Each structure stands twice: as C-alpha cells, then as structure tokens.
Amino acid sequence: MATRENEPTSDGESAGGRPSPERPMVRFDSVTKAFGDNVVLDGLDFEVAAGEKLVIIGPSGSGKTTILRVLMTLERPDSGMIEVGGEHLYHEERGGKLVKASEKHVRRVRGKISMVFQHFFLFPHKTVLENITLGPVKALGVPKDEARERACKLLELVGMEGKHDQYPASLSGGQKQRVAIARALAMQPKVMLFDEVTSALDPELVGEVLGVLRDLALNTDMTMLLVTHEMGFAKEIGDRVVMFDNGRVVEEGPPRQMFSQPREARTRSFLDAVLDHE
C-alpha cells in the first residue's frame, strides 16, 4: 500500500521505491564547512541513492546535524558542491560555466528537500491544519481547498486526525512531532531529512513517532536521511548506515553488518557507548 503519492517528475525516477544506483539523489562533492577554526565537514564526499533510507550515526559534535543543515540550505558550505536530484544546489550553469547560484535557483532546488527538526518548530500562531497547508499554498501554489484536503489525509497518516483546529501549544511532544512530519510531507519532497526527531521527546512518546517514521520508510519511495541514536530502529528501516566522525565518513555499510561486525575501532567504541547507554 502506498501511503502517499510521490509523483515522480522530470528526472524519471521510477516509482519502484528501491535505490537506483546509477543516479544518486543526493551527492556531496568535497564539501567543507567550518565554524571559525572548527572544521566540521572536511572535504566530505558521499552519495545517497534515490529512495534510499540512509541512517547517519556518530558522536556528538561530529557534524551530523551540519550535513543535514547544509543540505537544507540552513548553512552555506565554504567549498565543494552538492547535487540534489541531478541538479546543483548552490551552483548553476551560466554561459557554459558553473557559477554561484542565484537565490531563485537555490530556492527551486531546495524545494525537493524538507526537514523535520529535533525541536519540531511548528508555527505556534497557526493551527495544526494551517501549519501543514502554509507551505503548499504559499510555496507550491496549491489551491487552499486542495491543500486542506491533502493535509487531512496526511494528518490521518500520522495518526493526528481530529486535531486540525488545535494550536501546537495544546499538543504533546509526540503529537507535535507527528504534525511536523505531516508538514514536511505536505511539501512533497523527494528527500526528507530527520535530525534526531525523537531526542527531545519523553521516553513514552518516542514509540508513536518511530511508528510513523517506520511506516514512511517502508511504504514510500522518498529518499530519507535520518540522524538517530535509536539503533534498533535504524537496523529495522535503514538501507545503509554511515558512521561519521570529525567531519568524515569513518565507515559505512548495511545495518546488520555495521551493528554486529563494525570494521573500525572508532565505530565499535561508539556503538558500545550508545548501546550501553540504552
């Protein structure tokens, strides 16, 4: 059962939903990002296939959030290039040369991406329904009625039907995060970014959000990048796990192998620490 329609557009991705290795959906090409002297991404190269569910792990401060933020255009990389769906995010061709992209170009390409944050960031002055319809109506030009209808379906999908007219302040953390997921889905992104979306939740509310994410991961062909410390969940839904440290990929592989027989000592000690903690 397809839980949402993810209309493939110009780039000819099949709706099959599994990774298509020949053409990555996301590509980082020697991306560097520093805050002052602190080099957070150090010539980072990596690719995410279309439809792939990529789990990103790594110690605190290793740059996991920064990767997602650079992709969402919340931070500008200092150098390097990023492609999304075969298009440059921060560059565009003009007169046969690759130059710094205009705001307009960046905004168009970043429209393929949406993000769910650790701290939800719902719009507090808008109802649940308005939170979800704002982007589609203002950025995608979807007619209001249609946007509302689709928002209702998405709310059902995340188990939040009947809460349309509530304000975020009246929701629990788990409910807020489910609305935030619906809000991101409403933008019909090809790529969804999840930055530790259950870390700010009370333990008893984590399950409901992971449940929604699991449904999404297993039933849609969206490309997903998930930063998470929920290793059990990562094992279940991840196609691939990438271990980061000091702005570089330490190791990557399928979850089964990464969690049971990591090759690198760095990965092993990190996993030991995280699993101990659980």
Partner 1 sequence: MTAGAVAQASPATWDWDIAQRMMPELLRGLSVTLQATLVGITVAMVLGLVLAMARRSSLPVVRWPVVGFIEFVRSTPLLVQLFFLFFVLPDLGVRLSGFTAGVLGLGLHYATYTSEAYRSGIENVEKGQWEAAVACNLSTRTTWGSVVLPQAIPTVIPALGNYLVAMLKDAPLLSTIAVLELLAVARQLNSQLFRPLEAFSLAALLFLAVSIPAAILVRYLEKRYGYSRE
* Residue 274: closest CA among 44, 64, 115: 64
Q: Which stretch binds partner 1 (CB under 8 A): 25-33, 77-85, 135-143, 150-158?
A: 135-143
The yes or no reply on residue 100 touching partner 1 (CB under 8 A) is no
The yes or no reply on residue 193 touching ligand ATP (CB under 6 A) is no
- Least distance CB 198 / ligand ATP (angstroms): 13
d(C-alpha 235, C-alpha 238), whole Å: 6
Out of 115, 142, 147, 212, the residue judged to bind partner 1 by CB under 8 A: 115
- Angstrom CA distances, 45 to 81, 87, 248, stand at 9, 16, 8
The yes or no reply on residue 219 touching partner 1 (CB under 8 A) is no
Site string for Mg ion, 216-255 (x = CB under 5 A): ----------------------------------------
The yes or no reply on residue 66 touching ligand ATP (CB under 6 A) is yes
d(C-alpha 178, C-alpha 197), whole Å: 10
Please state, as a whole number, how many other Cβ atoms lie within 10 Å of the Cβ of residue 72.
17
Out of 169, 203, 276, 278, the residue judged to bind partner 1 by CB under 8 A: 169
In the bound state with partner 1, the residue whose beta carbon lies nearer, of 27 and 183, is 183
In the bound state with ligand ATP, the residue whose beta carbon lies nearer, of 60 and 260, is 60
- Least distance CB 60 / Mg ion (angstroms): 7
In the list Mg ion, partner 1, ligand ATP, none, the entry touching 63 (Cβ below 5 to 8 angstroms by class) is ligand ATP
CB 270, CB 57: distance < 8 Å: yes
Question: Which residue's beta carbon is nearest to the bound ligand ATP?
Answer: 65
The yes or no reply on residue 67 touching partner 1 (CB under 8 A) is no
Site string for ligand ATP, 7-46 (x = CB under 6 A): ----------------------------x--x-x------
Q: Which residues bind partner 1 (CB under 8 A)?
A: 72-74, 107, 110-111, 114-117, 119, 121-125, 134-135, 138-140, 167, 169, 183-184, 187
Q: Which residues bind Mg ion (CB under 5 A)?
A: 65
